[in-house]
Chain A
Amino acid sequence: MRSLKFLIPLVIALGIGWFLYAGLGNNPLEIPSPLVGKTAPATPIALLNEPDRTWSPEQMKGKVWLLNVWGSWCSGCQVEHPVLLDLARQNVAPIVGLAWKDRPQASKDWLAKLGDPYVLNVSDQTGKAAIDWGVYGAPETFVIDKAGVIRDKHIGPLTPEVLAGRLVPLMRRLQAQ
């Protein structure tokens, strides 16, 4: 029985080894949002085309909608753009575009060149509104329900798989409520 204590180091090592193996699948820089399940921040954001007027998520109450954070400087946003255009064409839910830390003219030029999938365009040049949304990189996409509660956040470029597998079913469920 006393010899069993010599097995302890092996057991501990195996335990740590298991964690390390499981950890290989993690992405250490993907930070899940604590805002999922909470009301969308009401911070007013200036419209891209009319900087004197502001918009806030309150105006979208009663609808299920998406907020897509992007910038003309962001290469991943260019990659996901066709997917967004496709989604807009399918008319699943309105998409609001938040141009983040972007010069307004650059944003407008980009949309003119690549197409505009957004029902509405807002621009956050200082980044303060984005902080309220917990944005830390682009592109990011939020799903908000009819009551104005954030239901999901996707980090990184949208892909047809993510849309079909997770976001679109979620939006349909929320719309049925």
Chain B
Amino acid sequence: MSPVRALRPLAALTFACAVSLSAAATTAPPGGAAAPSPPAAGTAAQATAAPAVPSATPAAMPPAPSSATPSVSAEAERRYKVLSEELRCLVCQNQTLADSNADLAVDLRNQVHELIASGRSDEQIKSYLVERYGDFVLYRPPVQRNTLLLWFGPFALLLVGVLIWWLVQRRSGAARAAGVAEAAAPAARTDDAALRRARALLDE
């Protein structure tokens, strides 16, 4: 290989390294939280709710949960975040526990905080809520008998798809073999330029 031709791929690799390094430089690693945080109050506005629920307006409501909590560990905070995004706000129109402003969501978030602080595992916390509210509260449906079709359906469909691909392939290949045999008979002489043009057209 001539040195000029070797340079091209080398240039590509150097470019790749340059791109990666500059992208990395602009992306900071996700560090831990720099300050202790209170239970998040949720910032999304809530759309119209269905059954009567304690509304967010003050009048007859007990005061909002206090913000002064003892500092929680980064691990507990991380677990809380992951959990509250996998749990559903029961009274909202499809929102996670983390994002909802509903009073019930605030209560449940506090409960999750307490359960984490009391040493329960993620599975135990989820079971705690499922015992009281049913599977509806989980955004990740449990893998059980009535959700087998849900979890394995797509995979089964993919297998069916692969089977179809293979079958179509075989049938088409056979058709092509028959067609090629017929076309091989009149062997035309084509010059180079026409051949190259034909190839280019086939590529388009």
Contact = CB atoms under 8 A, between A and B. Distances in A.
A101 B103 contact: yes
B41 interface: no
Contact of B52 (A31, A125, A137): A137
Interface stretch (B17-25, B29-37, B132-140, B179-187): B132-140
Interface string B41-77: 0000000001111110001111000000000000000
B91 interface: yes
A35 B59 CA distance: 32
B104 A127 contact: yes
Interface string B115-150: 000000000000000111110100000000000000
Nearest to B62: A125
Would you call the interface of chain B mostly helix, strand, loop, or mixed? loop
A140 B87 CA distance: 22
Contacts of A100: 54
B51 A29 contact: yes
B51 A134 contact: no
A101 B59 CA distance: 12
Contact of A138 (B53, B107, B131, B132): B53
A71 B136 contact: no
Contacts of A29: 50-51, 91
B51 A137 contact: yes
B169 interface: no
Interface stretch (A59-67, A72-80, A89-97, A163-171): A72-80
Interface in A123-142: 125-128, 130-134, 136-139
A5 to B, nearest CB: 10
B60 A71 contact: yes
Given A29-B51, A77-B52, A137 B91 contact: yes
A131 B103 CA distance: 12
- Of B52, B111, B136, the most chain A CB neighbours within 10 A belong to B52
A12 B107 CA distance: 43
A73 B60 contact: yes
Contacts of A33: 134
27 contacts: A29-B51, A31-B133, A32-B134, A34-B130, A34-B134, A35-B132, A73-B55, A73-B60, A74-B54, A75-B52, A77-B52, A127-B104, A127-B107, A128-B107, A131-B108, A131-B111, A131-B132, A132-B132, A133-B132, A134-B133, A134-B134, A136-B53, A136-B133, A137-B91, A137-B104, A139-B52, A155-B51
Given A101-B103, A106-B60, A126-B107, 15 more contacts: A29-B91, A31-B134, A33-B134, A34-B131, A35-B131, A71-B60, A73-B60, A76-B51, A100-B54, A125-B62, A133-B132, A136-B90, A137-B50, A137-B51, A138-B53
6 A-B pairs closest in CB distance: A137-B51, A127-B107, A134-B132, A29-B50, A73-B60, A136-B90
